[in-house]
Amino acid sequence: MTHSAIPPALAEQVRVAVTHLAQRLKIDPSGISVIEARAIIWPDGSLGCPRPGMGYRQVPQDGALIRLSAQGREYAYHSGSRQQPFLCDKAD
């Protein structure tokens, strides 16, 4: 795993995201690059990844945005409100 500067407070969340993506793509974690890892305040309970037809608490949520790169593609992981990082695939 190569990475830009990862804030120490986000190191565990980045590890979780990289591990999940490596398992999903069936590749070694060393093939994944961290593009960005930063704390963020999401505007609502969707944590920046709203799903059609779902309702979300309209309260700002502390969280993180983790952008990874693997196999020529970028992947965005979101977290917040005590939720582990999850892949935000808006194509779903």
pTM of the model: 0.89
Average pLDDT over residues 47-64: 94
Q: What's the burial of 8, exposed, middle or buried (CB within 10 Å: 0-12/13-18/19+)?
A: exposed
Strands (E), the chain: 2-3, 33-42, 61-70, 73-80, 83-87
pLDDT higher than threshold 80 for residue 5: no
pLDDT higher than threshold 50 for residue 1: no
Give residue 92's pLDDT band: very low, low, confident or very high (50, 70, 90).
Answer: very low
Q: Strand order in 33-42's β-sheet?
A: 2-3, 33-42, 61-70, 73-80, 83-87
